[in-house]
Amino acid sequence: MFSGYTSGNTRALPQSCREQTMIRKLFSAAFAGAMMLVAVPAQAIDIAHDLGTTSVPDAPKRIVVLEYSFVDSLAAVGVAPVGIADDDKRDSIIPAYTAVIGDDWTSVGTRKSPSLEVIASLQPDLIIADTSRHEAIYGALSEIAPTIAFDSLTGTYETAMAAAQTIADAIGKGPEMAERLKQHEATMAAYKAEIGDVSALSAQFLIDNGEGIYLHSPVSYNGSLLKWFGFTSNMPTPDGHTYEEAIVQTSLEQLSEINPQIIIRGKYADPGLMDSWVGQPIYDSIEAVKAGHVFDIKAHEWSRLRGVLASEQSGADLVNIVKQLKP
């Protein structure tokens, strides 16, 4: 037997060579493992929003949303939040949303006054807040998790669509939302074509809660949506976008002065306040009332949801309304 060979005639490395080879293999394995760890770091992305610029972690998984329109944005790209400001009413999250996000979220209270304690207990890695409602608590929210804010309450239809894309960018779903918005634009364009030229018709969306009537002005979400479809408004267009300019409480006399040809009514109470006006000459003389063009829709879906899926439902409703207009 010769030195450097095994008894099976298989060439053997000297001991020192075998040790060096083993060390190289171990080093290579360790280096590869280290590279795997650094190859997919948790990258952060800077998101510009209404209240500043926030560094958001890569593809956040534990998201809390404080407005219904943000639920809409997540549902549009198949993402489920862990917490929702659902006004303590789980059925306020409509089936079109729960079909996508499920029903395993935690309520964090009302949209107006969400519970910071409950939000913190969910250990979110992203909070999506409303500019108008939550500016006063933005600092407290940001101490819990990175927080971005958009104008859902007083923003326009166009504002809502832009916010949907930015939200998707923040959660790593930008391309998916871009594709969804292409589908949305095609759907809305088809509704608009079916509705036809309505530039000679004035339409007014309003809310009737049984105690008051609230007109949604041209700078509101619904006012701007009606304008997008081509309807005119007899309301003056405010200079700003405050809540008081977007949502205007009105009286019977003021409604008669606006005198719309179509009234789209969302009732939160039945009977509503408008029902008590029936038979009064000033009410009966309103163009929409005289023509039988007062249409009831789902108040919650039109007034509160304000998103991609919600606006498509509103478009379908408008198609049905125009079909019912009497010559």
Rounded Cα distance between 109 and 111, Å, is 7
Grouped pLDDT means (10 residues each) for the chain, 327 residues: 35 41 40 39 85 96 98 98 98 97 97 98 98 97 98 96 98 98 98 97 98 97 98 92 93 97 97 97 98 98 97 98 91
Q: How far apart are CA 77 and CA 278, in angstroms?
A: 45
Q: What is the pLDDT of residue 326?
A: 78
The C-alpha atoms of residue 292 and residue 2 are separated, in whole angstroms, by: 110
In degrees, to the nearest 5, what angle opens at C-alpha 105 toward C-alphas 75 and 168? 30
Alpha-carbon radius of gyration of the chain: 29
What is the Cα–Cα distance from 146 to 40, expressed in whole angstroms? 21
pLDDT at 42: 57
Q: What's residue 36's pLDDT?
A: 38
CA distance linking residue 156 with residue 160, whole number of Å: 6
